[in-house]
Amino acid sequence: MARQPEGPPPPPTVQKLRIRYAKRGRLRFASHRDLARALERALRRAQVPMAFSAGFSPHPKISYIGAAPTGTASEAEYLEIGVSRRCDPDAVRVALDESLPPGIDVLDCVEAQAGTGSLAERIDSSRWRVELVDTPVDDVRAAVEAFLAADAVMVTKRTKDGTRDVDARAAVVSAEVAGGAGCAILQLVVRQLTPTVRPDDVLAALAAVADLHPPLPPRAVREAQGRLDGSGNVADPLDPDREVRAHCQGERTPA
């Protein structure tokens, strides 16, 4: 028989909280593992009453949804935590934000509402903003036009099992180019397929179709994640929880 730790099992999850956070500035170089460690420690520092898994190595109940690649910034990273005592989501947001190093910033925290489905189901696309420093806007625009006109643009990705060819074009829903201060700005809406197509894959595709080579590594920021709606926009994945909550409160306290 498998050995069990002595003592009572850990207290159950009584509430789930869904959290949106940003990684900004220098901390864009943090990997997903780095962020996970920082978040776990911050939850302890913030004294959030985490629920734990059972067993000899109890782990706090945290699920991470997606993760922006190392080197890219994000305004829209998501995670879900289970707590063993009911908490005010706003208080958790403030306490957790204060406990994280500057550059990892908690933007939103809502209570997961029953019957709204999982957070992961509400995310299938990302909106990216990519800054190409010292790169002429017209060059980028021409490259993007060539890219969008192609049926498929294969790029080679490095994966942990070697390399893999992936069609970058298939994942891109839209790509727009604008001029910024000393740089070109590329706005992308990208479907989250497997394997994932990331901004650097799109850049590799632009190099392949139009020989576009920015002089410096581009800076990418994930601006939003969520479900793609009919008009090509990315919906806020926390909205369903907010809507249910507003509805319930509306019933309880009629205006």
Among 66, 77, 99, 221, binds other proteins (CB under 8 A): 99
By CB under 8 A, residue 71 contacts other proteins:
yes
Site string for other proteins, 48-67 (x = CB under 8 A): -xxxx---xxx-x-------
- The whole-angstrom separation of Cα 37 and Cα 64 is 12
By CB under 8 A, residue 253 contacts other proteins:
no
By CB under 8 A, residue 35 contacts other proteins:
yes
Min dist. Cβ of residue 156 to other proteins (A): 18
Min dist. Cβ of residue 104 to other proteins (A): 8
By CB under 8 A, residue 27 contacts other proteins:
yes
Among 34, 80, 145, 223, binds other proteins (CB under 8 A): 34
Residue whose entry in the numeric block shows the structure tokens 């036009």: 145
Give 44 or 247: the residue with its C-beta nearer to other proteins.
Answer: 44
What's the alpha-carbon Rg for the chain, to the nearest Å? 21
Give 70 or 156: the residue with its C-beta nearer to other proteins.
Answer: 70
- The whole-angstrom separation of Cα 65 and Cα 193 is 14
Among 216, 66, 68, 215, which residue's Cα sits nearest to residue 128? 68
Which residues of this protein are in contact with other proteins, per CB under 8 A?
Answer: 3, 10-11, 25-27, 29-31, 33-35, 37-38, 40-45, 47, 49-52, 56-58, 60, 70-71, 84, 99-103, 216-217
